[in-house]
Structures are given as C-alpha cells and as structure tokens.
Amino acid sequence: MSWDVSLYKFTRRYSNIQEIPSDEQPYPLGSPSEVQTAVSDVFTGTNWNDPVWGMYDSEFGSIEFNVGKDDLVRSLALHVRASSAIVGGILQLCERLGCQAIDISSSSFLDRSEHPAAGLERWREYRDQIIEKSRG
C-alpha cells in the first residue's frame, strides 16, 4: 500500500486534469539513465540495483521509482511511503525533469495544489486506521 504519484511531461502546464485534451501525447521524460540521474540527484542514495525500480529510503520514509523498460521514459511512477516532508523533493524532481506530478488518489496536480501533501496525508491517515484495526 502506498500513495501513488505519476510524473508526465505534457505539451504545456495544465492547471487541472480536466484541461488535458484526449489527444494529448506527453513528451518523454528522458532515457532511463537520464531519469535515474535526475532522481538520484534529488533523492540522494537511491538504489538502482534493479534498473527498472529505484529504491529510496530516508529518515522521512521511502519511495519506489518505476522507470519501466522502454528506451524512453514516458512517465515515472512513484510509490510513496513517507511523511509530508518528502513532497518538496517530488516537486523539485518535477522542476528538474520539466514535468508535472499527478496525485493518483485525487487526480490533481501537486504543483497546482494549495496543499501538495494533502493526498499523502490522507493516505497516511488511512494506513494508520488499517494498522490500528489489525492490532485491535
């Protein structure tokens, strides 16, 4: 279970998901090595032993980065299990890659949100409820 975010480089910056035309074809984020370098620059210490899955662990929590197996990375999936402190790094990665992050749980752009960590906070509350019920 994780808070899931997808990164895409669109033809322009959108304010909300509904603005994206049905024929939008996102640009590639780069080659797998370019994306891995960008991730590692922002999230220092990311483990790329499996070149498709980067694993980042820190005092704030963890993120799994799925770059896929294609020659060009069309989107980057992030599976986040961390505190709200990690969101700043996700936004920094978006700036580095020239892309936007979509919070899959709310179908909203992190960079256009008044509170970018809201989805992560809701996920943490849900996770904590599940953990508490399993202990009960």
Give pLDDT, residue 136. Answer: 67
**135 pLDDT tier (thresholds 50, 70, 90):** confident
pLDDT for 123 beyond 70: yes
For residues 76 and 95, what is the distance between their CA atoms, to the nearest angstrom?
Answer: 14
CA distances, 50 to each of 32, 42, 98, 99, 135 (Å) = 12, 19, 25, 24, 34
List, for residues 63-116, the tens digit of each pLDDT value.
999 999 999 999 999 999 999 999 999 999 999 999 999 999 999 999 998 999
The two three-digit tokens of residue 59, written as one number: 């005092």
Give pLDDT, residue 66. Answer: 97
Give 37's Cβ-side CA count (13 Å radius): 7
Give pLDDT, residue 28. Answer: 98
Question: In order of start, what are the domains of the chain with their CATH numbers?
Answer: 3-135 (3.30.310)
Once rounded to an integer, what is the mean pLDDT over residues 112-129? 89
Letter for the amino acid at 82? A
CA dihedral sign of residues 8, 47, 125, 121? negative
Report the 10 Å Cβ neighbour count for 10: 17
pTM: 0.93
